Every structure is written in C-alpha cells, then in structure tokens.
Homo-oligomer: A and B are copies of this chain.
Amino acid sequence: MQFLSDNAASVHPQVWDAMRAADNSDSPYDGDAVSQALDERFSGLFEAEVAVLWVATGTAANCLALATMCQPHGGVMCHEAAHIEVDEGGAPGFYLHGAKLLTVAGEGAKLTPDGIRAAIDPIRDDVHQVQPHAISVTQASEYGRSYRPQELAAIGALAKERGLGFHVDGARFANAVAFLGCSPAEAMGPADALSFGCVKNGAMSAEAIVFRDDTAADLARYRRKRAGHLQSKGRFLAAQLLAMIEGDLWLQNAQQANAAAAEIASACGERLMHPVEANELFVTMSAAEREALRGQGFGFYDWGADAARFVTAWNTREDDATALAKAIAGL
C-alpha cells in the first residue's frame, strides 16, 4: 500500500491506448496530426486561445516557461519551498542562464501579494541587485494547498503592476481544479504560462506547457529543441496529453486521488499540518507511529523528524485509503 508519491504511478489504460494509436503516424517532431491538434484542444479546455508544447518532464516545462519571462540577469520570485527552488537540481539556473530564484515566505507554500511585496520592495532598483522579472506559484502548492481564483487574480494584478511575468507550476494542477470545483481557466488565473502536469496524474512522460502568448510559445519551441527536449516521435507525447483531456480523464483521475486523500484526512484530525486541498497529506506523527504504520505495510516518506507525507494517486485503491485512514485513527 504505497503512498510515497504520485510521480511513478502506473499509466492509465486510456493513455496506453492513445499511445498505441499514435504509432500509425510517421511525421517527426511536432508535425504530426496529434501534436497539431493540441492548440485547439487546449484552447477549448481553457476557453481562450492558447499555444501548447509537450515536454517530457515538469522540470523542463517549468524552466522553458520561465525562460520566456526572465532574462539571464533577472530573478524569479517563488516560495522558499517551491519545487523549482528545492527539487529541480538547479535547472532554473541552467535554463535561465544564471538568473536567480528570489524566495518568498508564505503559509502553506503559497505566495500572497503581501508576501511578494515584502520580498520585492527591499530590492534596490539598481544594477547591483538582481531585479525580479517573473513570479512563479505552484497550483496545488508543495504543501497540498490550492490557490483560489481570486488569489491568483490578485497575484496577477501585482505582476502586471510591476511588469513581471506570471507562471503557474501545475504539476498537480488537476488536483487543484478537482478540489476547487472551478474551471481550468479560473485555476490558472491570469498567468502567462502554465505547466499543465499529467505525469503525476496517469500519463507516462508528457506535460503540457500552456502559453497565452504565441510569441512566448515560439520562443519556447527554439529553447525546447536547444534543450534536447524535442522528441522526433513527439506524437507519443501529444497522444498522452490528448488522452488526458479527452472526456476529462485528467479531472476524473484527480478526483479519485483527491477522494482518497480526503478519506485519509478524515482520520487525521489535529494531526494535519495543512488543510488537504489536493492529494497530499502532511501528518504529525512520531517515529514510533510511523514505524507502526510501516509495519502494517504502508509506504510513505518521513517529513522531517515528527511528521509523515502521504500522497495519493489516480490509481490509489479505495480499500488502501480506507485501510490507511483506519490505521492512522488507530494509532
């Protein structure tokens, strides 16, 4: 009974089917019919004209998006617990040619306009200090919290006021939408670009970068090739993306994961370190308690010395979630 992460879960059967079907084409790169359909299909999903690129990983998606917004001498405002800051092996420094991540504090790994201002305002407007060029938020956040549409609107307004780009790392965007019950457009807010995650949600190796602006998307296409991320059989990535949005599979998968997380959360009571607004749970738990759970067959990561992190996935079995809930309740 595995709750380590959603990042290596098995691939959804509909994704497999779509990949198989894509084998029939032989157009290289993104010239195939499936890749060519992405813009239109995602424009429908987001109720706006968007341009979409596939890439194999969330790290590549985030960094290619940010590289369209932040020059090498600039900075990206992000939470101090942001994935780009903590877990991407320095990829932003690579893709942005030495640009700097400027970290911001904030509850629940979420940014607020006040928090961003508190970080930006002390930066002297001169050449000696790295100036902010962009803001990046994670939806849902690294602590499993979801931004409400009005929160994104407020951050977007600040970005606009200060002339900053606005990026959303949506590695678990689907889980946020499923939790919020809003439209994808609302959950993206006024961001310039969104890393629309699929790998953690039933795909194999495809994420979408959603751009509002064609010029940015064109730039990202050059940078994608230059980063070795343009696959000659890209149709298999495009097929994964289309399969995910076909019939709202992405949303159903996320709803299943969220439901499992909610089930577990219901047993955690005051142990919960953060409200559960997606598919991750951060649960206060002693070492002995964790050992006990592991003894019962549950897999999960320690979260510091006194807590554990549980992540559910699209394929988490209801029985497993119930079993974990019971086990936690019984501690």
User: Which chain A residues have a beta carbon within 8 Å of chain B's beta carbons?
Assistant: 2, 4-5, 7-11, 16, 20, 23-29, 32, 55-61, 63, 71-75, 86-91, 93-100, 127-131, 199-200, 204-205, 219, 221-233, 235-237
Contacts and interface: CB of A to CB of B under 8 A. Distances in A.
Given A28-B8, A56-B231, A228-B227, A127 B221 contact: yes
Nearest to A75: B90
Contacts of A10: 23-24, 26
Given A98-B94, A205-B236, A73 B56 contact: no
A304 to B, nearest CB: 9
Given A98-B94, A98-B96, A57 B89 contact: no
B233 A205 contact: yes
Pick the most buried of A63, A205, A227: most chain B CB atoms within 10 A of its CB: A227
B205 A90 contact: no
A199 B231 CA distance: 9
Contacts of A20: 16
Number of copies: 4
Given A73-B90, A90-B99, A227-B91, A199 B232 contact: yes
A264 to B, nearest CB: 18
6 contacts: A9-B26, A56-B228, A57-B232, A60-B228, A72-B226, A87-B128
A224 B127 contact: yes
Contact of A204 (B61, B130, B236): B236
Given A98-B97, A229-B56, A229-B228, A222 B86 contact: no
Nearest to A83: B128
* Top-3 shortest CB links A-B: A93-B98, A60-B228, A89-B225
A98 B100 CA distance: 8
A242 B205 CA distance: 18
A23 B230 CA distance: 24
Nearest to A63: B228
B73 A72 contact: no
A128 B88 contact: yes
Contacts of A63: 228
A297 to B, nearest CB: 14
Nearest to A6: B232
Given A97-B97, A200-B232, 15 more contacts: A8-B26, A11-B23, A56-B231, A59-B228, A63-B228, A73-B223, A75-B90, A87-B128, A88-B225, A89-B128, A89-B230, A93-B100, A204-B233, A228-B229, A229-B229
